[in-house]
């Protein structure tokens, strides 16, 4: 069994049911995805430590502390609005390092130093960068408490699997097909690349499932949702060219079967699945570049708009997505709009407690 997982040169086993034809390994991966998604919804999230949390009351000015991430540092300046409406800056962290975000935001509109012309394109670029992506948003040291849920973990798992797939793919590209078919180390690296891609696609699909049912396009996050869907579509094309580049029986069968589909679509003269050189170059050069750019833009948008809150995390009459005035108010604070919960416990536990009190 272990040898079959590592050595991918053998023939695969297929499951044929009506018009459905799928390899046994991919079928098992899909089953595992469904089980993993169900567990992410049902299993409570494990916290290392409980921190401060945002408190929402009828007065939106009351309480603005946030939950620090278990893996995040304690540095960072947090502007905390008290119930009396008096704002005080709380600076924490060794050497005052947390003040960087606040200084960057405070000086974002005044980037001219030592007589430097503010009209320079570099000054304009810096001003725009500090406006939308200040250091505190790029590298936050705290997260909203409702992020303490397994559903929010799959985005990071997707990026981790992508990193492993890229690194293992670079080794395969350098060593070549003969190495990954003959060498035992090549077998290992080839299997590492394949299973990292399998996990990448599985984690991304679960991530999309969770965000779809969470309506993650709310709060001005439509572009963030679109880039995520585009990344998924491009990943499918990248995976297809990877199958064509295996140089084994499976890749030959896939190439012969898919050429008819490309010819029927009218693009057979542009894309030829039976051309190994073309498939390999698309797989290791063009498509990965497009995918990395889309993923990078997606991550930046998540940092700009923040992580979407669960649909019922706020009362309907005070939901920033439905009340533009509240949305603008929270968007003007140090943290992103809607980043508030009632407890540092997992979101599901907080909702159960809230329902019990009512």
Question: What pLDDT shows up at residue 83?
Answer: 38
Q: How far apart are CA 11 and CA 132, in angstroms?
A: 51
pLDDT digits (tens, 9 = 90+) for 295-326: 999 999 998 888 888 887 654 433 444 344 44
The alpha carbon dihedral of 182, 186, 191, 194 has a sign of negative
Question: What pLDDT shows up at residue 138?
Answer: 81
Q: How far apart are CA 245 and CA 254, in angstroms?
A: 10
Question: What pLDDT shows up at residue 155?
Answer: 92
Domain borders along the chain are 103-108+117-139
Q: How far apart are CA 144 and CA 66, in angstroms?
A: 6
Q: How far apart are CA 182 and CA 150, in angstroms?
A: 40
pTM for the model stands at 0.63
The alpha carbon dihedral of 22, 23, 26, 28 has a sign of positive
Question: What pLDDT shows up at residue 104?
Answer: 41
Structural contact between residues 313 and 339, judged by C-beta atoms closer than 8 angstroms: no
Question: What pLDDT shows up at residue 20?
Answer: 84
Mind giving me the DSSP string for 172-238? HHHH-HHHHHH-HHHHHHHHHHHHHHHHHHHHHHHHHHHHHHTTTTTTT-HHHHHHHHHHHHHHHHH
Q: How far apart are CA 215 and CA 3, in angstroms?
A: 42
Supply the Cα-derived Rg of the chain in whole angstroms.
Answer: 25
Report the Cα–Cα distance between both ends of the chain, in Å, rounded: 53
Which stretches in the chain have pLDDT values below 50?
48, 50-109, 111, 114, 315-358
Question: What pLDDT shows up at residue 185?
Answer: 93
Question: What pLDDT shows up at residue 128?
Answer: 86
Structural contact between residues 238 and 291, judged by C-beta atoms closer than 8 angstroms: yes
Question: What pLDDT shows up at residue 244?
Answer: 93
Structural contact between residues 238 and 289, judged by C-beta atoms closer than 8 angstroms: no
3 state SS of 76: strand
Distances (CA, A) of 58 to 48, 110, 318: 31, 36, 9
Question: What pLDDT shows up at residue 62?
Answer: 38
pLDDT digits (tens, 9 = 90+) for 104-154: 444 444 545 545 556 788 888 888 888 888 888 788 877 777 788 888 899
Structural contact between residues 235 and 291, judged by C-beta atoms closer than 8 angstroms: yes
Q: How far apart are CA 292 and CA 162, in angstroms?
A: 9
Of 352, 342, 294, the residue nearest 315 (C-alpha): 342
């Amino acid at each position: 069994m272990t040898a079959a997982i590592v050595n991918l040169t053998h023939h695969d086993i297929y499951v044929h049911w009506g018009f459905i034809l799928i390899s046994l390994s991919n079928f098992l991966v899909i089953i595992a995805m469904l089980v993993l998604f169900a567990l992410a919804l049902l299993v409570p999230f494990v916290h290392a430590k409980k921190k401060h949390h945002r408190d929402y009351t009828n007065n939106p000015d009351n309480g603005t502390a946030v939950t620090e991430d278990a893996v995040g540092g304690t540095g960072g300046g947090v502007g905390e609005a008290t119930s009396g409406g008096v704002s005080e800056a709380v600076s924490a962290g060794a050497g005052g390092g947390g003040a960087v975000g606040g200084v960057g935001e405070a000086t974002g509109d005044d980037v001219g130093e030592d007589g430097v012309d503010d009209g320079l394109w570099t000054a304009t670029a810096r001003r725009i960068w500090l406006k939308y992506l200040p250091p505190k948003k790029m590298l936050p040291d705290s997260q909203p408490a409702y992020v303490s849920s397994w559903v929010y973990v799959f985005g990071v798992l997707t990026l981790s699997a992508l990193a492993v797939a890229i690194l293992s793919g670079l080794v395969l590209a350098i060593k070549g097909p003969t190495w990954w078919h003959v060498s035992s180390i090549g077998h290992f690296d080839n299997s590492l690349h394949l299973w990292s891609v399998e996990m990448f696609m599985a984690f991304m699909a679960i991530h999309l499932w969770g965000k779809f049912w969470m309506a993650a396009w709310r709060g001005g996050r439509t572009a963030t949702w679109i880039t995520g869907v585009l990344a998924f579509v491009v990943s499918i094309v990248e995976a297809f060219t990877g199958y064509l580049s295996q140089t084994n029986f499976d890749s030959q069968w896939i190439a012969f079967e898919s050429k008819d589909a490309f010819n029927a679509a009218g693009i057979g003269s542009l894309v030829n699945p039976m051309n190994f050189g073309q498939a390999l170059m698309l797989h290791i050069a063009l498509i990965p570049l497009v995918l990395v750019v889309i993923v990078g833009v997606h991550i930046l948008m998540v940092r700009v708009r923040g992580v979407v809150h669960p649909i019922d995390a706020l009362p309907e009459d005070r939901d920033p997505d439905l009340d533009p005035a509240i949305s603008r108010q929270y968007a003007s604070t140090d943290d992103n709009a809607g980043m508030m919960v009632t407890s540092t416990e997992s979101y599901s536990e907080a909702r159960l407690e809230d329902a019990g009190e009512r």
